[in-house]
Amino acid sequence: MAVIGVDRRHRILQRVAAEQTIHIAELAQDLQVSEMTIRRDIARLERDGFLRRSYGGASAHITKSLELAFNARALVNAPSKRLIGMRATELVPGAATMFLGIGTTVEQFALFFTPATPVTIVTGSLPVASLLASRSGRVVVLGGAVAQDDLSCSGPIAASSVRRYRAEVAVLGAGGLSSRHGLTELDDETAEIHRLIIEQSDRLIVLADGSKFDADGRATVAPADAIDVLVTDARAPAAEIAALRAAGVAVEVVGQPGGRAAGQRGGSHRGPRGRVPPQQDGQEGR
């Protein structure tokens, strides 16, 4: 029985993780689809940044990319994550120091972030660090224990490193998000590092696609009103978006019909951490 699209692409990623190099003809036979279908899957995975194709002689194969963490979770809602990451890069002009969190949506931010001036990036994500290390600026990795599933740093060494820096902005992903419970994470270790990052930052931008509103993150990171800007997609529940805006969160919704939605502001016009930020092109201050 043929395998449906998203499952095929998961299987391709899993095969790459196990074997490093695979062949199109073998995949087509194993997944009971045509070689053209496999080529389209590979092209999509390469376009989304998960794989890099190379060619040896007459046979085509794909190899694990060194530029992004290899993780099949990154396939989930990949187009929305890409749009969210791209939009978020427009919200941080002029920052001299930034914290970047972990997760596949933050990795998309890092993929598209090309600072106009040198910037210091502090992150606990090894994939994010690898994406940014060759660009203009300085990258600092927190250090500490590295989790195998997402290659993120945590523990007392990472916490100590966070406390050494102050940043104009922090860009974090979300294990879960709601107007009631705020920003949450799936484990205490990640939540602790993200709490410290927020304490050390002037402004908090959260990147979360619509699925995060259904996620059950048990570890609390911050209340909703601690978020300065949320970048999400059109699948985010309308009631939650309204509640977050009422709490003073500036919400940017990408992927809506007719182009990117205007970032409607919440009723509160406080600045991040109580200060009024400089206005950015096309945006009003909060």
User: What pLDDT is stored for residue 135 in this prediction?
Assistant: 76
Structure tokens at 258: 């007719």
pTM above 0.75, yes or no: no
User: What pLDDT is stored for residue 232 in this prediction?
Assistant: 96
Residue-by-residue pLDDT tens, the chain, 286 positions:
556 677 787 777 777 766 666 678 888 888 888 888 888 888 777 766 666 666 543 333 444 443 344 454 555 567 788 889 999 999 998 899 999 999 889 998 998 888 878 899 999 999 899 888 877 789 999 999 998 777 899 999 999 999 999 999 999 999 999 999 999 998 899 999 999 999 999 999 999 999 899 777 789 999 999 999 999 999 999 999 999 999 999 999 998 654 444 444 443 334 445 433 333 333 333 3
User: What pLDDT is stored for residue 67 in this prediction?
Assistant: 38
Cβ neighbourhood burial of 72 (10 Å; 0-12, 13-18, 19+): middle
Give all domains of the chain, ordered by start, each with its CATH number.
5-65 (1.10.10.10), 74-274 (3.40.50.1360)
User: What pLDDT is stored for residue 94 in this prediction?
Assistant: 85
Residue 59's DSSP bridge partners are 56
In this structure, are residues 217 and 185 in contact, taking their beta carbons and an 8 Å threshold? yes
